[in-house]
Amino acid sequence: MTQRPFNFSAGPAVLPEEVLQTAAADMLNWQGSGMSVMEMSHRGAEFISIYEKAERDLRALLAVPANYQILFMQGGGIAENAIVPLNLSRGGAVDFVLTGSWTEKSYKEAGKYAKAHIAASGKDSGYTQIPAMASWQLSKDAAYLHICSNETIDGIEYQELPDLKALGASAQTELVIDCSSHIASRSIDWSRVGLAFAGAQKNLGPSGLTIVVVREDLIGRALDICPSAFNYELVAKNQSMYNTPPTWGIYIAGLVFDWILRQQEGGLQGLAAVEARNMRKAAKLYAYLDGSSFYSNKVAPQARSRMNVPFFLADESRNADFLAGAKARGLLQLKGHKSVGGMRASIYNAMPEQGVDALIAYLQEFEKTSA
């Protein structure tokens, strides 16, 4: 196969080529079953084996402790903005730290089901930094504090999750993280997290699958109005098969988990290898942007995302030329989100380092022709 272009989409996003090839080879006849995975009953032995391996591999990969359930759901991150308060808030207080577009959305949606409160906001900084944790105004009785551990649009990432106990939060306040756009790109400190959710379409597979990892003692307190298909207790009791799960998404994500577990890098294996590669990819891209007066990234260095790198050209009238030239060189989907403008390079796990090198070479070339 000739080399595919490098796809910098924020999501749905690039997948490992090997995973796509396996899915293509399996398409008409999965492992001699005579069926495509899309055609299988979710209750049949074939699909159950796919599901069980995916669950086991994700647990291993993210080191999810035994007292946390992994749920494979539908609805994406936006549905979880409602599903989390429906399941965890008991209709009481819930706190939010606003760091960009996604936490703004989550906060607004939670207000329909709970008493949503802004503990801190980075809006005054134009969402270029995470408000200092010591300044967070936590409610005394919040059921949880919601953060977005990687803001996809604004390019902001927590390098360390907050330790709510150390911040003086009430013992009943759990940390909820929306980790949609950096799940499986780095490890998660589960001792600090009550619930994590993520849409699959950035680092894990196709859209339509949502991963929820929730500590068992938080399950079973849903509001009566919570739709059954979104009630974590029912979903957990039925091994994510209370309703028909997104079988194709689980299958592809399973192939991606397997791919991550097999990655190697300088003596590291699995997630550690992927994380090392992600750090190197991000470091070289930011270093180039910082060293150039033609491009800029406005996010405070300690809050910069390893996955989503928004940047601006000094001469914005050249944006269309920049994008056309990028496309001609096989560098796709670099246009920034409409709410922010400029450019954005999403460099998820499946973006090879050569893709970042090719982007940097193009940035250099375009800068020269613009001098």
| Catalytic residue IDs | 102, 178, 202
Cis peptide before 12 (omega within 30 of 0): yes
Q: Alpha-carbon distance 279 to 157, whole Å?
A: 13
Of 76, 122, 162, 310, which lies in the binding site for ligand PMP, with binding defined by CB under 6 A? 76
Site for ligand PMP in 192-211 (CB under 6 A): 199, 207
Of 15, 68, 77, 303, which lies in the binding site for ligand PMP, with binding defined by CB under 6 A? 77
- The answer to whether 13 touches 346, Cβ cutoff 8 Å, is yes
Q: Alpha-carbon distance 268 to 277, whole Å?
A: 10
Q: Judged by CB under 6 A, which stretch of 61-69, 70-78, 260-268, 341-349 contacts ligand PMP?
A: 70-78
State both tokens at 2: 């000739």
Residues 6+ apart with CB under 8 A from 366: 321, 322, 325
Q: Alpha-carbon distance 243 to 235, whole Å?
A: 8
Site for ligand PMP in 295-324 (CB under 6 A): none
Tell me: does residue 180 bind ligand PMP (CB under 6 A).
yes
Tell me: does residue 78 bind ligand PMP (CB under 6 A).
yes
Q: How far is the CB of 27 from ligand PMP (least distance, A)?
A: 25
Residues 6+ apart with CB under 8 A from 173: 95, 138, 139, 142, 143, 144, 145, 164
Q: How far is the CB of 44 from ligand PMP (least distance, A)?
A: 28
- The answer to whether 102 touches 127, Cβ cutoff 8 Å, is no
Of 9, 11, 61, 127, which lies in the binding site for ligand PMP, with binding defined by CB under 6 A? 11
Tell me: does residue 85 bind ligand PMP (CB under 6 A).
no
Q: Judged by CB under 6 A, which stretch of 76-84, 252-260, 287-295, 317-325 contacts ligand PMP?
A: 76-84
Site residues for ligand PMP per CB under 6 A: 11, 76-78, 102, 148, 152, 178, 180-181, 199, 207
